[in-house]
Structure 1
């Protein structure tokens, strides 16, 4: 009896591995053809140029539309204009910081020249301000013309405004040279009696006893004060 060499005997595994090549190839060709047909069909139904144009229109707003939107919002925005009247280092920036919560560095950079004797700071932005602060510059300087400052402030207040307005007189508690400030306040109150006027007395800590480290509960209970 003659035995067939092992090399001439084909195993089932080898037969199985030799046959599926054409089957796999035809199966992949079918998937590719189906995907290609689906892609072409979608392109005919939904042209890519039209889709891109539509999406672009959804997310693109021209400058004219933006200006119209901002103008509409400004008309309905409850903006309050606060005119800060006081000498330098009287605590006006601290008042702005307390009302807005922003740092002193940002406030210092935010004020921009408005008129010859005033600076303007819009919070949170110039486009949509909720608060507009106007600060008097150089008030108390002996070289300043008080009448000119008053005329400038009155002219600024004469401009039409739909928002609320308030005058904030800022005085350091230990500053008794307030004649100029009083003259300005009286003139503005006489011309605009309907605009509220607040007196902010600042820098109270400067008259606390030397051993006081932190601000005490207000009003402070010191015998010397």
Structure 2
């Protein structure tokens, strides 16, 4: 039995040899075609790059879409002149939610809102929305009226002076009142004065 297997061995070796030769031939044919295609591609792109001024086209294209700082400033000025800006004056008692409304609508920092029962706003602040470069709304967050540390009459005088200044802006007066605060007579008087 072992003799028959030995006689089969040379035949198996020759089959393996012919299979490996076929693989080498196929691999070399594949490599040959790949190298030819790669060579043609490289030559074609090289010639195309010589014919086409790619750098010049790139610079021209970038030039079309670039805007200088002075042009941006001119465009913003034109838009500011044409777009209406509305100013919203928020007035109310301390801790009535004036700064919270501004924060909720504009997304400014939470630092403008007071904590607990201590009023936070110490002087009138303006917040532009959506940006200070091109505001569509300007929120004026005022000091709480009736705060013991602030003179209410002085605050009202400042607001009246501000409202008397001629402006092309539309103005809205927003009275903020806590839902459980029924003593709103003073706010009504202030609103009538303004």
Query: TM-score range with shorter-chain normalisation?
Result: 0.5 to 0.7
More helix by share: 2
Among 160, 181, 186, which residue is 1:154 paired with? 160
In structure 2, the CA distance between the partners of 1:155 and 1:146, relative to structure 1 (3 Å rule), is same
**Residue in structure 1 matched with residue 117 of structure 2 by the alignment:** none
In structure 2, the CA distance between the partners of 1:63 and 1:155, relative to structure 1 (3 Å rule), is farther
Among 73, 78, 100, which residue is 2:79 paired with? 73
Among 123, 126, 132, which residue is 2:129 paired with? 123
**Residue in structure 2 matched with residue 82 of structure 1 by the alignment:** 88
Contact 2:92–2:145 under 8 Å retained in 1 = yes
In structure 2, the CA distance between the partners of 1:145 and 1:12, relative to structure 1 (3 Å rule), is closer
- Which structure 2 residue ranges, 5 or more long, are not aligned? 1-9, 114-121
Contact 1:110–1:121 under 8 Å retained in 2 = no
TM-score between the two structures when normalised by the length of structure 2 = 0.60
Q: Distance in 1 between matches of 2:71 and 2:112?
A: 27
- 1:163-188 Cα deviation digits (max 9, x unpaired): 3111223345422572xx46643443
Query: SS of the residue aligned with 1:167?
Result: strand
Of 59-68 and 33-42, deviating more is 59-68
Query: SS of the residue aligned with 2:72?
Result: helix
**Residue in structure 1 matched with residue 50 of structure 2 by the alignment:** 44
After superposition, where does 1:1-225 map in structure 2 within 5 Å?
27-93=33-99, 96=102, 100=105, 106=108, 108-109=110-111, 117-172=123-178, 173-175=181-183, 178=186, 181=187, 184-188=190-194
TM-score between the two structures when normalised by the length of structure 1 = 0.54
User: How far did residue 118 of structure 1 move?
Assistant: 1.0
User: How far did residue 30 of structure 1 move?
Assistant: 3.8
User: How many positions carry a matched residue from both structures?
Assistant: 172
CA-based RMSD: 4.1
